[in-house]
Amino acid sequence: MTHHVEDTRVIAEDAPQYNATLVKRVDHTADLASIWVKLDGDPVPFEPGQYMTIGVFADEKLWQRPYSVASAPSVAGTEGYEFYVRLVPVIRFTTLLWRLQPGARMRMIGPKGKFMLEPEDSRTHLYVSTGTGLAPFVSMIRETQAQGSPRKTVVLHGVSHASDLGYRDELEAWERDGSYPVRYVPTISRPFDPRNEGWTGRTGRVEAVVAEVCRDLSLRADRTVVYICGNPEMILNVERALMDRGFPEFHVKKELYWPKGKSPTA
């Protein structure tokens, strides 16, 4: 049985620190990118769902922020650690990160976090996220696939615009060719925005959609475990919707971007 887990990403100052290099970057949109960071020495093991603090040097200062790892632990030694990052247009960590090119020196701290898969859990896994909160679930899917132990999975991912649907091609490919037992359910919160013209999928915020997804896919509380990653308000609203469908609290694991009652910069 799943134990109730509520984890908050914080800068992991108390964890080991490592020198590292930015080895690759792929821009998905003007403000969404995937970056790969590789340690100078041997790779550090982590569990899918955990996060690491990545640091950028600027103005004789180390700027840091924690991010969930999107890559599988099994490729840390060859490809490095993949992070899915959104640009926040103010003078802080991400604006500095956006200026870097491959070869830039960085700092890594971690891993940290309790937001991990339960061992030998045969229930259907419902992953609920918004924006870059999808990253830990991509890591979970990639690693269980690499281990040859895939889990029946439903991925509910909410964004404002269809162009923000990170890893969409990969998730759709898994679903289409059957290489992983996943059902991909993207939803758009701003259906009337011109940027979403032509979108024919689900619309609405994840907290408004999660109940109908459970109904449409026959996700029963006694046969489903739920993992949620994102901002505290979204998580609280999704939990309420799930409890209305009979999901007990101990069937839900969650990772908050920041502590409840705090702002993103607190």
pLDDT in tens, 21-51: 999 999 999 999 999 999 999 999 999 999 9
Mean pLDDT of 205-209: 96
What one-character DSSP code corresponds to residue 249?
A: G
Q: Cα–Cα distance between 175 and 208 in angstroms, integer? A: 24
pTM for the full predicted model: 0.92
pLDDT of residue 91: 63
Q: For 124-256, CATH number? A: 3.40.50.80
User: Where in the chain are all domains bearing CATH 3.40.50.80?
Assistant: 124-256
Give the span between the Cα atoms of 6 and 25, in whole angstroms: 31
Rounded-to-integer distance, Cα 2 and Cα 249, Å: 10
pLDDT at 261 > cutoff 80: no
Residue 5 has pLDDT above 80, yes or no: no
Pick the CATH number of 5-112 from 3.40.50.2300, 2.40.30.10, 3.40.50.2030, 3.40.1190.20: 2.40.30.10
In this structure, the dihedral spanned by the alpha carbons of residues 197, 89, 129 and 118, taken in order and rounded to 10 degrees, is: 150
Mean pLDDT of the chain: 90
